[in-house]
């Protein structure tokens, strides 16, 4: 029995071991690392019959049961289909990369990231709970970030990596919110439970919000307009990364998610429009923008965007034919696009450029690569007898039968496909045929490991095209049935007879060739349009980022302006507002405490204290201020005295005296008191402090009114002499009943003393 968890875990172990392996095998780590995708592939092939016909293989481990989260995996037809693509292309690209990076010091790092990505991607498609899926979803995003920025000394690579991280990160967070809401409705994060809850989900008032959030996740990951712009900029990644992550696997994760969740969320009108409209736009715009590209990788990147748009469109249509067409097209696209990316990498590697204008006639120097390129391009163009042809026929069939606006959808499809045909022609003909140019490096054939991958992928497109029923039907059928179990068995054949689909196919190829031959004017326009279109969302991203930073700057400067006075002001205003709001009901009811029967000497003392406080705050001389402070202190001691606490009064009295003496001693050494605040500032401060003082006074008076006799007092009085052996209750409280407080306060004194000593001794440069 195959264990998805062990497969994924061992992928991460291989990744972790990669740097060590590279050292111990003297740069031959790829031989061992390749075992991972190879063995996984063999295991999968071994399960072939079981997956297509048999029950779904499920594996569930406990992870965070307190949160209701398990680490669960399921191998059904859809997961199997994706896992096969991930391992096959992973294996070939790994071998390719070992030659591409030969002698590069950073190879261990590359292997680590690449293998981690592979394991994460497998985890993503094998996950059987939303949270498991999300964990791997984010891990693919993180490894993508590091791989795009692999050439980290290039600023463009760092910017591309950041852009991809932020755009897909935004989507990832939306996805998380969507998943949580989905889990809240279904009562579980387990995918089978989500599927069962389809009706509840679709009837929930939250359904539109959930769908929006999930689509935000899927569209950012799968580069749908208007989030597509990160993908061309991700071409800063080394070519093996582009071939694997940014064409064959990771960018398909959004499509996978849509397919995976379509039984629970799909089929509604909202679903239909929310997917097919952005999908159609992406399909057309991607193909159109690709047409103007001169960089081989960017050309392929835009055509990938177009393909991803097609997939979204098909899933949006969500008819039987559309789902079938989507999966076979996804398969075909992974084959030819993976091959073409590797070929672009080989061309770049061996000739030193990937600018299509500087290339030509390479078939002489690179015959094997050129042959693979021709095959892959034919599949891309959808010509018989390649698998691409079958896929395109199905595509048209699905579009013709679109439930809404079929003619429009079909026309859009023909336009996009004609552009794709022209792109395929452009890629192959301008690179490998036609007039040779001098290139930065003298071109020669790529090393064997860099030829195997493209050759196998392109070759498989041919063989599967010839034997579609034997090689592809059952695989696609298994995948389709995971999405729509009721679908009848799938059969593919090269020849469908003279149908309207064939007419469309012929039309497409003819138009494509015409575009390639005479599309110069379109190219000129394309160039101009490209500037416009790519400025749209890309500019929006830039201004959003810059705007956020500007806002952040302004906000931070405004709040954190470096002046203590403003910090205090804010804090006290906040306190006043809250306290005032809390006191408001009391004031409204007018239950103010009674203020009668205050003896004269108490009132006089209170006035004295208040006058002292005002003088402290307003005095322009330090000496006056300190004297006034002393008045406040002595006033407070008097109050202690009036209320029967002579020992407290005495303590306070001595402290005040000592403080004043000390102040007066250091006074001559202090600089003159500067008065820098304006009158309005002073009035504002005075008002605020008075308000706060009033509020606190109100609170204290209210508290005095509500005073409850404390049972503590009684206890202290009773126990002081017999148990604590002390006649002075206050002392007993301090040293016995609440001795811990006293220990704490003594320590505070110790630290203050140490602090003064240490600060004076440790101060650099002495005092001025």
Partner 1 sequence: MLILLPILVPLLTAIVLVGCWTRPSVQRIIALGSSCVQLAVAALLLHQTSTGRIVTIAIGAWPPPFGIVLVADILSALMITVTGVVSVAVMVYSMSGIDANREAHGYYPLLSTLLTGVNGAFLTADIFNLYVWFELLLISSFVLTALGGGKGQLEGAVKYVTLNLIASVVFLTATGVLYGIAGTLSMGDLAARIPAIQHREILGMVAVLYLVAFGIKAAMFPLYMWLPASYHTLPAPVGALFSGLLTKVGVYAFYRMFTLVFPAMDFGMTTLILVISGFTMLVGVLGAAVQYEFRRLLSFHIVSQIGYLLFALGVGTPLALAGGIFYTIHNIIAKANLYLIAGVAARLGGSYDIRKLGGLFSAAPWLGILFLVPALSLAGVPPLSGFWAKLAVIRAGLEREHYLLGAVALITSLLTLFSMSKVWSEVFWKQRDSNPETDADPAQRPIAYQVAPIALLAAITLTLGLFAEPLFALVSDAARQLLDPSAYVDAVLRRAP
Which residues from 521-560 bind partner 1, rule CB under 8 A? Answer: 548-549, 551-553, 555-556, 559-560
Q: In 10 A of CB 529, how many CB atoms?
A: 16
Q: How far is the CB of 708 from partner 1 (least distance, A)?
A: 5
Residues from 726 through 765 that contact partner 1 (CB under 8 A)? 736-741, 743-745, 747-748, 750-752, 754-755, 757-759, 761-765
Candidates 354-362, 460-468, 682-690, 712-720 — which segment interacts with partner 1 by CB under 8 A?
712-720
Candidates 425-433, 441-449, 473-481, 571-579 — which segment interacts with partner 1 by CB under 8 A?
571-579
> According to CB under 8 A, which one of 142, 406, 494, 529 is a site residue for partner 1?
142
Beta-carbon contacts of 618 under 8 Å, excluding residues fewer than 6 positions away, are none
699 is an interface residue for partner 1 by CB under 8 A: yes
**Total of chain residues touching partner 1, rule CB under 8 A:** 99
> According to CB under 8 A, which one of 42, 503, 655, 712 is a site residue for partner 1?
712
The Cα 730–Cα 647 span in angstroms is 9
CB 302 within 8 A of CB 289: yes
506 is an interface residue for partner 1 by CB under 8 A: no
> According to CB under 8 A, which one of 134, 219, 271, 288 is a site residue for partner 1?
134
CA-based radius of gyration for the chain: 38
Q: Would you say 595 or 708 has its CB closer to partner 1?
A: 708
- Show the tokens assigned to 600: 């004269």
702 is an interface residue for partner 1 by CB under 8 A: yes
Q: How far is the CB of 218 from partner 1 (least distance, A)?
A: 17
Residue 661 carries which DSSP code?
Answer: H
Residues from 583 through 622 that contact partner 1 (CB under 8 A)? 583, 585-586
DSSP string, 20-32: HHHHHTTS-HHHH
Beta-carbon contacts of 371 under 8 Å, excluding residues fewer than 6 positions away, are 455
Q: In 10 A of CB 5, how many CB atoms?
A: 15
711 is an interface residue for partner 1 by CB under 8 A: yes
Residues from 65 through 94 that contact partner 1 (CB under 8 A)? 65-67
Q: How far is the CB of 768 from partner 1 (least distance, A)?
A: 11
Q: How far is the CB of 553 from partner 1 (least distance, A)?
A: 5
Q: Would you say 671 or 764 has its CB closer to partner 1?
A: 764
Q: Would you say 434 or 703 has its CB closer to partner 1?
A: 703
63 is an interface residue for partner 1 by CB under 8 A: yes
> According to CB under 8 A, which one of 59, 76, 138, 190 is a site residue for partner 1?
138
Binding mask 657-696 vs partner 1 (x if CB under 8 A, - otherwise)?
Answer: ---------------------------------------x
> According to CB under 8 A, which one of 33, 126, 131, 214 is a site residue for partner 1?
131
Residues from 156 through 195 that contact partner 1 (CB under 8 A)? 158, 161-162, 165-166, 169-170, 173-174, 176-177, 180-181, 183-184
Q: How far is the CB of 184 from partner 1 (least distance, A)?
A: 6
Beta-carbon contacts of 321 under 8 Å, excluding residues fewer than 6 positions away, are 394, 397, 398, 401
SS (H, E, C) 359-414: CCCCCCCCHHHHHHHHHHHHHHHCCCCCHHHHHHHHHHHHHHCCCCCHHHHHHHHH
> According to CB under 8 A, which one of 703, 721, 728, 731 is a site residue for partner 1?
703
CB 730 within 8 A of CB 650: no
598 in helix, strand or coil? coil
CB 48 within 8 A of CB 102: no
5 is an interface residue for partner 1 by CB under 8 A: no
The Cα 120–Cα 114 span in angstroms is 10
Q: In 10 A of CB 568, how many CB atoms?
A: 12
- Show the tokens assigned to 371: 């042959």
DSSP string, 121-139: HHHHHHB-BHHHHHHHHHH
442 is an interface residue for partner 1 by CB under 8 A: no
Opening angle at CA 379, ends 417 and 452, nearest 5: 140
């Amino acid at each position: 029995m195959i264990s998805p968890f062990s497969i994924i875990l061992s992928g991460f172990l291989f990744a972790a071991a990669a740097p060590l392996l590279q050292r111990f095998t003297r740069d031959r780590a790829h031989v061992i690392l390749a075992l991972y995708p190879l063995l996984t592939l063999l295991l999968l092939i071994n399960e072939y019959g079981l997956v297509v016909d048999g029950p779904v293989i499920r594996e569930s481990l406990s992870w965070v049961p307190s949160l209701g989260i398990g680490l669960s995996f399921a191998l059904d037809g859809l997961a199997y289909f994706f896992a096969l693509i991930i391992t096959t292309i992973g294996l070939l690209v790994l071998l390719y990369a070992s030659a591409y990076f030969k002698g590069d010091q950073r190879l261990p790092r590359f292997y680590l990231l690449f293998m981690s990505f592979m394991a994460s991607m497998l985890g993503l498609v094998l996950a059987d709970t939303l949270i498991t899926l999300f964990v791997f979803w984010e891990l693919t995003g993180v490894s993508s970030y590091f791989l795009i920025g692999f050439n980290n000394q290039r600023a463009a690579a760092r910017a591309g990596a950041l852009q991809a991280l932020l755009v897909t990160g935004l989507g990832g967070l939306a996805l998380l919110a969507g998943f949580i809401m989905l889990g809240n409705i279904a009562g579980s994060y387990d995918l089978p439970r989500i599927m069962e809850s389809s009706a509840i989900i679709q009837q929930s008032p939250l359904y539109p919000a959930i769908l929006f959030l999930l689509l935000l996740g899927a569209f950012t990951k799968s580069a749908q307009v208007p989030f597509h712009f990160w993908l061309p900029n991700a071409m800063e990644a080394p070519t093996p990364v582009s071939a694997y992550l940014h064409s064959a696997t990771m960018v398909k994760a959004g499509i996978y998610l849509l397919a995976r969740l379509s039984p629970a969320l799909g089929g509604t009108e909202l679903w239909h429009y929310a997917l097919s409209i952005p999908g159609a736009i992406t399909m057309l715009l991607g193909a159109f923008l690709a047409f103007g590209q001169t960089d081989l990788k960017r050309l392929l990147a835009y055509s990938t965007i177009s393909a991803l748009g097609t997939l979204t469109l098909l899933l949006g249509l969500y008819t039987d034919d559309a789902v079938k067409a989507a999966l076979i097209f996804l398969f075909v696209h992974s084959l030819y696009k993976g091959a073409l990316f590797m070929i672009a990498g080989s061309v770049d590697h061996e000739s030193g450029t990937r600018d299509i204008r500087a290339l030509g006639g390479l078939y002489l120097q690179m015959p094997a690569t050129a042959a693979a390129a021709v095959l892959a391009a034919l599949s891309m163009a959808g010509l018989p007898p390649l698998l691409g042809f079958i896929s395109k026929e199905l595509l048209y069939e699905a579009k013709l039968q679109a439930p809404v606006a079929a003619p429009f959808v079909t026309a859009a499809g023909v336009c996009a496909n004609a552009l794709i045909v022209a792109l395929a022609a452009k890629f192959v003909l301008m690179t490998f045929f036609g007039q040779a140019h001098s290139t930065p490096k003298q071109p020669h054939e790529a090393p064997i490991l860099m030829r195997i991958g493209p050759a196998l992928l392109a070759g498989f497109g041919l063989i599967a095209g010839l034997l579609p029923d034997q090689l592809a039907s059952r695989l696609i059928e298994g995948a389709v049935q995971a999405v729509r179990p009721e679908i009848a068995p799938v059969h593919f054949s090269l020849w469908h007879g003279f149908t309207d689909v064939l007419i469309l196919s012929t039309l497409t190829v003819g138009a494509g060739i015409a575009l390639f031959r005479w599309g110069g004017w379109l190219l000129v326009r394309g160039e101009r349009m490209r500037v416009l279109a790519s400025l749209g969302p890309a500019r929006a991203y830039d201004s959003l980022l810059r705007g956020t930073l500007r806002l952040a700057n302004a906000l931070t400067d405004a709040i954190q302006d470096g002046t203590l006075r403003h910090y205090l002001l804010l804090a006290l205003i906040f306190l006043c507002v809250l306290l005032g709001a809390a006191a408001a009901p009391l004031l409204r009811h007018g239950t103010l405490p009674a203020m009668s029967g205050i003896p004269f000497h108490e009132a006089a003392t209170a006035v004295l204290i208040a006058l002292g406080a005002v003088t402290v705050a307003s005095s322009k001389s330090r000496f006056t201020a300190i004297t006034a402070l002393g008045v406040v202190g002595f006033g407070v001691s008097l109050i202690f005295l009036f209320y029967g606490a002579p020992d407290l009064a005495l303590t306070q009295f001595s402290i005040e005296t000592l403080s004043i003496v000390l102040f007066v001693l250091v006074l001559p050494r202090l600089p003159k008191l500067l008065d820098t605040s304006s009158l309005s500032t002073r009035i504002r401060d005075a008002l605020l402090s008075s308000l706060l003082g009033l509020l606190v006074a109100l609170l204290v008076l209210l508290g005095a009114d509500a005073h409850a006799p404390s049972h503590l007092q009684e206890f202290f009085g009773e126990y002081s002499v017999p148990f604590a052996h002390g006649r002075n209750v206050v002392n007993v409280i301090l040293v016995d009943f609440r001795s811990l407080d006293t220990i704490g306060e003594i320590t505070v004194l110790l630290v203050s003393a140490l602090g003064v000593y240490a600060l004076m001794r440790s101060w650099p440069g002495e005092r001025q």
